Structure 1
Amino acid sequence: MTDVDWDAKTVIGSKRSVAKVTRRDSDLNAARRTGAVVGTDKKVTAGGNKAHQGTDHQRIAKLDRENEVAPPAKIAPSVGRAIQDARMELKLSQKDVAQKINEKPSVLQDYESSKAIPNPQILGKLERVLGVKLRGADIGKKLEAKKTTT
C-alpha cells in the first residue's frame, strides 16, 4: 500500500496528450521557437508502390552464382549496318531520323556504331521510320506495306 500516489488525479473523459504530427515547416519552426521537444522522423517506405515490391529473384540468384561480371548485351553490328544503309537510302541524316523517332541524335549514333544496349521500343520506332526489319532472323529486309482488305 505504500506504492499508492494519493496526489494523482484521474479526470474521466479527458484525453492524454499525444505527440502532434505536423507536415508543415512553419509548424515545426513555431514549436522550436517555443522550446518544445521536437523530433523528426522520416518514413522509410513513403511513396513506394506496394503492389509491385518484388524483384526478379531468379535473375538475382543467377547473378549471385556467377563469379565473373558480364557486360550488358550490345546491338549486333549487322543491325547497325542495316540502320545506316536504310537511312542512306532514304537520304536522311542522323539528326532527321532521331527527330522522327523522338530520340537524341547520340542515341542513334550509338545504335549505328553498335555501342547501344538494345531497347525494343527504340528498335520498333526505327523499323517503322526506316521501313527495314531490325529484329528477328531477317535483319535488313524491307518491311511490307500493310495490306488493306476491302
Structure 2
Amino acid sequence: MNPHQDWNRVVFTGPVGKAKKGEQAVQDAQRRGANIETVRKAQGGHNTHGPQVNIRKLAEETDVVEVPQLSHEFRIEMQKARSAAGLSQADLAKRINEKQSVVNEYESGRAVPDNQVIVKIERALNCRLPRPPKPQKRKASEEEKF
C-alpha cells in the first residue's frame, strides 16, 4: 500500500442525477400538495404525426413557373456602359455595394433580374439600361381549366 493513496470509503448523500421530468414528477408534486402547471410543448425534429402529403400528387404536379431572365440587349448594353466608364466588374460592384459575382451574373445573363440592383447599376454607370419584360399574369380562364 502506497502512503499517498487513501483507501477510506467515501459516501455521497443528497440527490444524484437529473431532476425528474414528465408524469412521475407531476405525480410526486401532487402528493406533496404543490401547485402544478403543465404545458404541452410542440414536438420538434422528425415528427411523423404532421400533415400527410400525397407523394403521388406532388410527383404528378406539372406547374411550371417561368423564371424571368435578362435579355441579350441588357447584357450587351451593361458591358458597353461599364467599359465606357472605365470600370472593372469589381469596381462597379464596389460602387453599387454588391459582390463582384452579382455583376458577373448580370453580365453573363445568369442572374434573376432585380429592379433595385438594376437601378443601382444605372446610377453607377449614369445610363439607362433596357429593362427586362414584366412577367405576365395568367388569365382567369387558364386557371379554371383544372
Structure 1 length-normalised TM: 0.49
* Structure with max Cα Rg: 2
